[in-house]
Amino acid sequence: MLVDSSEQFDNIDSPTQPQATGEDLNLDNTLRPQSFAEYIGQEKVKKNLDFLIRAAKKREEPIEHILLYGPAGLGKTTLANIIAKEMGVNIKTTSGPAIERVGDFGSILTNLQDGDILFIDEIHRLNKSIEEILYPAMEDFKLDIIIGKGPSARTIQLDLPKFTLIGATTKLGALSNPLRNRFGATYRLEFYQNKEVQDIIKRSSRILGVEMHETGLEKIASCARQTPRVANRLLKRVRDFSQIKDHKFVDSAVAQEALEMIDIDPIGLEPADRHILRTIIEKFNGGPVGLGTIAAATSEEIKTIEDVYEPYLLQIGFLTRTPRGRMATEHAYKHLGIAYSTNPQNVLL
């Protein structure tokens, strides 16, 4: 029986959420590019990585340590996996918050093989004791282990395989200088151009078996926040909608109806984005207001606002940062249909 109701969409996860779960996680892996040829966008980064890989292969050495940074969802994890495939080596994936004990991290390092890649996502969240182990491991491929306590404690040094560390972070400034300086190559991933996002959606729609009209591609891309991860999540939600409604293909009208059902507006803002902007405007006269205050007023976590919502709002000019906090811009007022008035406090900024 076909249910013509929006109820089945009520529990759909936000397309901007940083982590996928369940079926979405499996589909994300299916849609992930497997080579530089399949990877759309970030041309300058790809070119530099290709040179690094070719040079390392020519010397028959592991590729040097690499740091990738930029907003969430732009393809840092995908690039790490492609580098491993291009080098023909294994990759071990973990994240900063997942590494809690020195012993656990030591075990990860000693179980690597020569040439293996260790990928650490959210590397800025490593605790200091773990970070200190990384220094000799990255520079000299040595692991210092302290045995015993107090005056009788002694340090022994173990040889590690010649591995490559690839770190990914959304907060380059949160990395300590000693750790950041140990990476041989550092690359920033930029937001994607609209045409690149359309090409990503076109590729993903073929994999998912979705018949897409050019206008459907354009509509989804315009709401994808210049981010591949968001583009693929929106495509999957539009696919679900079109299948339930028995549409044979996705055009602009079908895509728009599907996106409206999950409350995505024409430029890709979702309810949380609009709630954050309205809170700044209506409760704090447009700002400036501190991030902690915004988080408390919107019941969002500081990290979620900072990593998930704020980068795009800054990118499109709806939000600005000042020494005294965040401010909503005139563009934000206009988009929300609120009359713009200058906060007297802002004149002095």
Tens-place pLDDT, residues 162-211? 999 999 999 999 999 999 999 999 999 999 999 999 999 999 999 999 99
Q: Which of 261, 287, 319 is the last residue of a domain?
A: 261
DSSP annotation of 88: T
Per-residue burial over 176-211, b if 16 or more Cβ lie within 10 Å, else e, is eeebbebbebebebebbeeebbbbbbbebbeeeebe
The per-residue pLDDT for range 257-294, each reduced to its tens digit, is 999 999 999 999 999 999 999 999 999 999 999 999 99
Q: How far is CA 344 from CA 86, 191, 285, 336, 347, in A?
A: 56, 34, 9, 21, 6
**Type of residue numbered 33:** P
- Provide the pairing of β-strand 154-159 with 142-147: antiparallel
Give pLDDT, residue 157. Answer: 86
Give pLDDT, residue 26. Answer: 65
**Residues with catalytic annotation?**
76-77, 121, 170, 229
The per-residue pLDDT for range 14-65, each reduced to its tens digit, is 666 555 555 555 667 889 999 999 999 999 999 999 999 999 999 999 999 9
Both 207 and 279 in one domain: the answer is no
CB-based contact 68:79 (threshold 8 Å): yes
Global model pTM greater than 0.85: yes
Q: Which of 188, 211, 237 is the last residue of a domain?
A: 188
- The dihedrals phi and psi of 258, each to the nearest 5 degrees, come to -65, -45
Both 82 and 111 in one domain: the answer is yes
Mean pLDDT of the chain: 90
Range of the domain at 170: 42-188
Ordered DSSP codes for 309-342: IHHHHHHTTSEEEETTEEEE-HHHHHHHT-----
Residue 202 falls within a domain, yes or no? Answer: yes
Residue 21 falls within a domain, yes or no? Answer: no
Residue 11 falls within a domain, yes or no? Answer: no
Both 105 and 213 in one domain: the answer is no
- Distant-in-sequence, close-in-space partners of 314: CB < 8 Å, separation ≥ 6: 320, 321
Number of domains composing the chain: 3
Give pLDDT, residue 6. Answer: 35
CB-based contact 19:13 (threshold 8 Å): no
DSSP annotation of 15: T
The per-residue pLDDT for range 208-267, each reduced to its tens digit, is 999 999 999 999 999 999 999 999 999 999 999 999 999 999 999 999 999 999 999 999
**Average pLDDT for residues 313-342, to the nearest whole number?**
94
The per-residue pLDDT for range 126-148, each reduced to its tens digit, is 999 899 899 999 999 999 887 76
pLDDT-derived band of residue 151, with 50, 70 and 90 as boundaries? confident
Q: Which residue has the tokens 């996860």?
A: 13
- The dihedrals phi and psi of 11, each to the nearest 5 degrees, come to -100, 15
CA–centroid distance for 325 within its chain: 24
Longest dimension (CA), the chain: 75
Give pLDDT, residue 154. Answer: 77
CB-based contact 108:92 (threshold 8 Å): yes
Both 225 and 173 in one domain: the answer is no
